[in-house]
Structure 1
Amino acid sequence: MLRRYLERKDWETDVARYGVDIWMTTIAIAEGFRVCQSFLGAKLHDAKDPGADLSAMLHQVVGSVFTLMKEYEQVWRNVTGSRPADLFGFRFDVGLDPIPVNLERMVKAFLTGCRELREIWSLALERETLQALLGVCREAEANPRQWRLPDYLWARVILDFACAHRAMPVERGHLLRSLTPLYLGRVASFVMETEPLVSAEVEDRIEQLCLAFEAAKPYLTARWDAVGAAAAPAVQGAPVEVKP
């Protein structure tokens, strides 16, 4: 597997920094390597507010995922459902220090995006998705501590952006940057929802989100095919007239 990673030509792209974890995992799964989980203890990072210095990291991670989606389309498009990975080691809970989160700043960034990025969001999002999202924006504006961005809608947002990333290569940078306030809105919603929960309950909520993405798979394949057909030449193999 290491040889396969070293053979790749994309080490000078976004995967070289924040995108490397998802890049390695996706390649291993898509190319049929054995994948497992192992308990190694807590992976510790410097405590950092998710609302601070996020744009570059999000751009690189999501850009890597969307690029790999196009590369491995023939692998993922026919997959249905999911199954647990093999698990090694002894499961144990790890106590972690809480990370302070500036909820007000995240909500403010989300609402700023709602006001200023509607035009570029409309390039990526289906009409129904955009209308549902704007409804969430209105709820957040009216009551900044009581609104939610539901799982099904977040899945639709991400899948719409994935399809737009495929369809509009020239606009990719703008699209990915415009995703930052949406992500902050989703994080703020998740923080408010899970604030009273214990860690096991939070893990269950994350699993529910994963299932929402699984349920949206038919939506993804339909949209992916639609944007692919729209981007294809109108006439395949037509003769080209060359004028002197």
Structure 2
Amino acid sequence: MANRSGVTVVGIPARDEARTVGAVATAADAGLHLAFPGGANVVVLAENGSTDDTVRRFTETPLRSRKVVARSGGEGTGKGTNVFAIVERALDLGADRLLLLDADVRSTEPRWISALADAVDHDEPTLAVPSYRRNRFEANTTNHLASPLLAAVFGVHVQQPIGGEFAFNRAFLERARAWPRPDSAYLYGIDVWLTANALREHLRVVEVPLGRKLHNSPFPKILRLPQQVLDSLFHVVLRTDAVRSPGPAAPAARAAVDGASAPQDPAVVSRVAECVARYLEAHRGDVRRLFPSAAAAAPAPWGLRMTGEHWPHVLADALAAVAGGRFEAARDHLVALYVNRVLTFWEEIDGLGDDEIDGLLDRQAAGTVRAVRDRGIALGGRTGPGRFDVRHWAGYNDVSPAWSVPA
């Protein structure tokens, strides 16, 4: 059980989350009061460029904990900007522990505070990551990119490496200050940047079961979010000594799929598929050169039928391309192929039970570990690009301004 004294900070990174930020802050405050009744408790809202009532809703929400607002301009910033602001404020406050809660979650529970805090109650640098059940049509970047790639490079299976509900002790925060920050870490790349760096440095990473997670669907971000995640992940990968073998213990079976599910909006899916098809047509030759494994994919109504058998080898192609100096092309081409994997996956899981879907994802991750290991990919010796921008996706993601990628 965590030390019940000292300073505990809960940080809420937010932009335009007026509908849910008050409920998240209330749950955080209740959890802090239960877990640390005699401690110095602080709830920090970090927002950048909100155009709604996010800040007002937070400041008007009655809390027993101290409330702090950290604000920054919106242009060129994102979730990572808010997280870094929270980390610096927590260190300034002398925090013994810091917990992060996403602002758009509708299922935040007070008990999460104690569970996450207990997990980082160690002297050594420790990161706690969530483990929860999600709608089978969500968590796509987690399931098909972040989780299998981390397992393949670092030999550690992490079910929710970009989950958002994280916790850190002070030793971890001090260590993280020294890590190089690519531009994408100031955006949606922040979560994988934290997890990948922790694994790269062999730090303690603890998975904390939190039950169900219900939040606003991330699918409209399916072009910009994975591009940012991959950018941060590949930067950390290039700073890694070598592909690491899995540990002697078999990874725990996944329990990530929730019984309740809701398909994505077909109109949005159609527009995304159209963008991806135009991108792949424009970059067909380079995609074939960098991703020879994709040649085995059969045609599908959405483009390519990227099956669970093909996907591990496509991910191995991506890592080989990054190690070979084609960082940006590998990143951006992989986004297009990933969308085809997601749409194929949805077809594959039609009629399957939750356990069967979890098993399929576990086999996909294990297949990625084998595919990468068999390539003998040499890491290190290169660096990623100094700047992040949309690069090859510019001009292919503007079908609808509601989900276009900002320059």
Counterpart residue number, 1:150: 307
Q: 2:291 corresponds to which residue?
A: 125
Deviation at 1:71, TM superposition (A): 0.7
What secondary structure does 1:98 align onto? coil
Deviation at 1:95, TM superposition (A): 5.6
1:165 Cα deviation from its structure 2 partner: 2.2
Give the aligned partner of residue 163 of structure 1: 320
1:62 aligns with 2:230: yes
1:231 alignment counterpart: none
| 1:81–1:214 Cα contact (<8 Å) kept | no
Quick check: 1:37–1:86 contact (8 Å CA) kept in 2?
A: no
- Quick one: which of 174, 180, 200 aligns to 2:335? 180
Q: Which has a greater percent of strand?
A: 2
Question: Residues 68 and 148 (structure 1 numbering): CA distance in 2 closer, same or farther, change over 3 Å?
Answer: same
Change (3 A) 1:40 1:53: closer
Structure number having the greater helix percentage: 1
The answer as to 2:210 corresponding to 1:53 is no
- Give me the whole-angstrom Cα distance separating, in 1, the residues matched to 2:345 and 2:256: 24
Correspondence for 2:371: 216
TM-score w.r.t. structure 1 length? 0.70
Are residues 175 and 33 of structure 1, via their aligned partners in 2, closer, same or farther at CA, if it must alter by over 3 Å? Answer: closer
Corresponding residue for residue 3 of structure 1: 174
Residue by residue over 1:65-123, the C-alpha shift from the partner in whole angstroms, topping out at 9 and shown as x without a partner, is 2221111133xx24146745789xxx998665524243544554454444332122134
Separation in structure 2 between the aligned mates of residue 92 and residue 217 of structure 1, nearest angstrom: 24
- For the 8 Å contact 1:109–1:184, the answer to whether it is kept is no
Long gaps (5+) in structure 2: 1-171, 382-407
The 1:93/1:162 distance shift into structure 2, 3 A limit, reads closer
Which residue is 1:191 aligned to?
346
Amino acid of the structure 1 residue aligned with 2:175? R
Residue 38 of structure 1 and its aligned partner are, at CA, apart by 1.4
| Counterparts in 2 of 1:36 and 1:84: CA distance versus 1, 3 Å | farther
1:57 maps to amino acid:
L
2:173 partner letter: L
1:186-225 per-position Cα deviation (integer Å, ceiling 9, x unaligned) = 000000110212222211111111111122133332x447
Which amino acid in the other structure matches residue 208 of structure 1? R
Report if the CA contact (8 A) 1:123-1:164 is conserved: no
Equivalent in 71, 81, 85 of residue 239 of structure 2: 71
Q: State which of 173, 185, 188 in structure 2 corresponds to 1:15.
A: 185
Distance 1:22 1:61 in 2: 6
Unaligned runs of 5+ in 1: 229-244
Kindly indicate whether the alpha-carbon contact (under 8 Å) linking 2:288 and 2:295 is maintained by their aligned counterparts in 1.
Answer: no
Say how many residue pairs are matched. 208
Distance in 1, Cα, partners of 2:278 & 2:185: 29
Which residue number corresponds to residue 391 of structure 2? none
- Identity, in percent, stands at 21
Q: 1:98 aligns with which of 239, 259, 262?
A: 262
Distance 1:182 1:82 in 2: 32
TM-aligned CA deviation for residue 161 of structure 1: 1.8
Change (3 A) 1:105 1:153: same
Change in 2 beyond 3 A, CA 1:8/1:80: closer
Provide Cα deviations, 1:32-82, integer angstroms capped at 9, x if missing partner.
22222111233333124x3x33222111101112221111133xx241467
Compare relative contact order (CA 8 Å, sep 6+) and give the higher one, 1 or 2. Answer: 1
Q: Could you say if the C-alpha distance between residues 92 and 196 of structure 1 is closer, same or farther in structure 2, counting changes exceeding 3 Å?
A: closer
After TM superposition, give the deviation of residue 155 of structure 1 in Å.
Answer: 1.6
